[in-house]
């Protein structure tokens, strides 16, 4: 007989299903579960948004400072070249290109 006819005739074998016991939770498992619960809350999302909002202006300030430093470097370079030219003229050296 096939399996379907066994069921129809009420002669189905009983099967036992063994559900494995959950092993002891390690400290990492407890940490991971706690962290997962914390990051899934609205408070964590709000903190993340606040950090980004506070952090964004610092990017603009840093970019502005970088531009200022580059501008000053060019000015210093021109000033330094002018001093070098004056020194060469005072000593009598020709400007070498």
Domain positions in the chain are 25-91
Confidence (pLDDT) at 70: 83
Q: List pLDDT tens digits, range 24-73.
A: 888 999 999 999 999 999 999 999 999 999 988 888 888 888 888 888 88
Which of 52, 31, 56 lies closest to 44 in space, CA to CA? 52
Q: Which two tokens stand for residue 94?
A: 């020709």
Confidence (pLDDT) at 58: 85
Confidence (pLDDT) at 5: 60
- Across the range 2-28, mean pLDDT stands at 71
Model-level pTM?
A: 0.42
* Cα–Cα distance, 41 to 75 (Å, whole number): 52
- Across the range 5-9, mean pLDDT stands at 58
Query: Which residue carries 């400007």 as its tokens?
Result: 95
Alpha helices of the chain — where are they, by DSSP H? 3-8, 27-39, 42-91
Confidence (pLDDT) at 12: 59
């Amino acid at each position: 007989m096939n399996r379907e006819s066994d069921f129809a005739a009420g002669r189905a074998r009983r099967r036992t299903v063994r559900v494995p016991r959950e092993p002891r939770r390690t400290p990492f498992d407890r940490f991971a579960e706690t962290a997962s619960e914390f990051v899934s809350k609205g408070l964590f999302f709000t903190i993340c948004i606040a950090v980004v909002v506070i952090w964004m202006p610092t990017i603009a300030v840093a970019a502005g400072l970088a531009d200022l430093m580059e501008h000053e470097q060019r000015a210093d370079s021109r000033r330094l070249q002018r001093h070098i030219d004056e020194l060469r003229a005072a000593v009598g050296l020709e400007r070498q290109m």
